[in-house]
């Protein structure tokens, strides 16, 4: 007859293991949900970036708009447009890449969550076994026995698992390197300072200095720097999304669509003909 005390111990062990498994599954699902929110935020940021770029870089659009507003009170409001869009883009970059709050869907936070040992191992194993969940059916010619066909299928499956595992590890190195570069990038601190002292707060100079807001213009952030920052870290964000969710995105198509939307909007507003193609 089984010892009741021993049975209770075994049940407690099983219950503990199941609870740990449920907790890990929950944390992995949590990371994937955060990553999906992160990439959705990136698409919005990319749209806004392509709204700003033609406005500041396309001389034809700028000159046409300047003619429309010349000698009007509307010119005063128009002069706010470039700074307003640039500040909005800075805010997007700050919250998308740099926010360390544990409740945010930022690159920094998703990377931190995905770096936890058990979570990382679970994500890596899921990615390695992605071929197991794909449709796999090969036609074999005559002379191949069912046993031989099964052996070939198993061999090919293992080959694909090795390939997927390598892809995960290489992708993770890209993600890790970008996280390290974010920490040391001089523009990172400038963007944080702008967000903290100007965008989120109207921070004033300390006592002993000239009274007035902190002069964020002295940070020296140029619009070209903002574009360069977005371009530099966007591939790593997409790679972080890929290794945590297994999802791939048609980046080139999105860029082209956003670029076309931004260009057409300004050409229509400035009275210029819309370019086809």
What pLDDT shows up at residue 156? 82
Q: Which two tokens stand for residue 65?
A: 């708009």
Question: What is the residue extent of each domain of the chain?
Answer: 4-270
How many whole angstroms separate alpha carbon 222 and alpha carbon 252? 25
∠ Cα 16 20 25 (to 5°): 150
Please give the biggest Cα pair distance in the chain.
99
Cα distance between residue 76 and residue 80, in whole Å: 7
CA dihedral sign, ordered 169, 235, 47, 80:
positive
Q: Distance between the two ends of the chain, CA-based, in angstroms? A: 81
Per-residue confidence in pLDDT tens, the chain, 277 aa: 555 555 555 545 444 444 456 789 999 999 999 999 999 999 999 999 999 999 999 999 999 999 999 999 999 999 999 989 998 999 999 999 999 888 899 999 999 999 999 999 999 999 999 988 777 666 666 667 777 767 877 888 899 999 999 999 999 999 999 999 999 999 999 998 888 877 777 777 777 777 777 666 777 889 999 999 999 999 999 999 999 999 887 778 888 999 999 999 999 999 999 987 5
Res 147: pLDDT: 79
Contacts of range 131-136, beta carbons closer than 8 Å, 24 or more positions apart: 131/157, 131/160, 131/161, 131/164, 132/157, 132/161
- Structure tokens of 173? 């190195």
Distance CA 226, CA 79 (A): 19
Query: pLDDT value at position 140?
Result: 62
pTM assigned to the model = 0.83
């Amino acid at each position: 007859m089984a010892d009741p005390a021993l049975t209770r111990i075994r049940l407690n062990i099983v219950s503990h293991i199941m609870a740990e498994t449920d907790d890990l599954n929950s944390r992995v699902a949590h990371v994937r949900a955060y990553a999906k929110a992160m990439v959705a935020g990136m698409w919005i940021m990319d749209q806004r970036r392509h709204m700003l770029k033609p406005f500041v870089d396309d001389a034809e659009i700028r000159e046409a708009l300047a003619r429309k507003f010349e000698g009007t009170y509307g010119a005063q409001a128009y002069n706010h447009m470039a700074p307003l869009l640039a500040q909005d883009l800075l805010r997007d970059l700050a919250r998308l890449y740099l926010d360390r709050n544990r409740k945010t869907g930022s690159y920094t936070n998703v990377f931190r969550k995905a770096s936890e040992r058990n979570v990382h191992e679970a994500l890596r194993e899921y990615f390695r076994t992605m071929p197991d969940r794909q449709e796999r059916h090969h036609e074999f010619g005559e002379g191949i026995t069912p046993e031989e066909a099964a052996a070939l299928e198993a061999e090919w499956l293992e080959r694909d698992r090795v390939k997927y595992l390598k892809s995960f590890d290489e992708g993770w190195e890209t993600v890790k390197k970008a996280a390290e570069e974010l920490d040391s990038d001089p523009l990172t601190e400038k963007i944080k300072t702008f967000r903290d002292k100007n965008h989120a707060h109207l921070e004033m100079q300390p006592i002993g200095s000239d009274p007035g807001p902190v002069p964020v213009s002295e940070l020296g952030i140029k619009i070209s720097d903002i574009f360069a920052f977005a371009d530099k870290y966007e591939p790593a964000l997409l790679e972080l999304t890929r290794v945590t969710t297994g999802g791939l995105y048609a980046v080139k198509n999105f860029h082209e669509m956003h670029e076309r939307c931004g260009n057409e909007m300004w050409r229509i507003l400035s009275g210029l003909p819309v370019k086809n193609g």
